[in-house]
A = this chain, B = another copy of it.
Amino acid sequence: MSPYDPSAFPPFAVTVDLVVLTVRRHALCALVVRRGEQPFQGRWALPGGFVRADEDLAGAAARELSEETGLCAHDPAVPGVDNGAHLEQLATYGDPKRDPRMRVVSVAHLVLAPDLPAPRAGGDANGARWAPVDELLAAGDQATAGLAFDHARILGDGVERARSKIEYSSLATAFCPPEFTVGELRRVYEAVWGVALDPRNFHRKVTGTPGFLVPAGGTTTRQGGRPAQLFRAGGATLLNPPMLRPEV
């Protein structure tokens, strides 16, 4: 075979799928939409859609994200904007049989977003909701009840990426509003990792890691108890030393 021969290559459909994660009520949740068409009609699926002919992959992901949630993707290359969500490429899935209709290669993206009021249904979906990832992945074991296509696997990969990435990067702040307390950040780690962390050691650790948090000046009592200092995400993206996920 002669690679890059423009006259003879099998045509593919290329889509982007989104694993949009957030933390609500102490649980890691993912955005899912109900499919309005065959196949898998009525089943939940990850949001996504075709990449347009003149569109970048990241651009397509950002467009789909905005269409489904109204979120504005925060491009790490353009700093300063943090009202949006973190978006990064996750992995690409191209099994020949993953879509029964045609050959589809899907470039999955991972989005980490602060808790949002309510998902708004995108054009093609009958509904959209935040579902705890535990539910979605547990349901995936039963053959018929799980997510459409190979989306359970994609979701699993996205969750695993998020779990490991908040260890050595400051991405956990992407789950928080612009100003947040140490306790709120700790609850993010606890929800994503599914463990309980010592508040005192956690406080020492995050406030001692240079560039992770900068004081925002105020305090809040929205979590009850003693007022807590408000922080903003610092400039550091890589944490040194990293946060360590407790052993099993």
Contact = CB atoms under 8 A, between A and B. Distances in A.
A181 interface: no
A87 B13 CA distance: 25
A131 B63 CA distance: 39
A225 interface: no
Interface of A: 1-6, 9-15, 37, 48-57, 89, 91-96, 99, 101-103, 105, 107, 123-124, 240, 247
Contact of A53 (B51, B103, B107): B103
Copies per assembly: 2
Contacts of A94: 14, 51, 56-57, 107
Given A2-B123, A92-B92, A94-B107, 15 more contacts: A1-B49, A2-B124, A3-B48, A3-B124, A4-B37, A4-B101, A5-B50, A10-B50, A11-B13, A12-B12, A12-B13, A14-B94, A54-B96, A57-B95, A105-B107
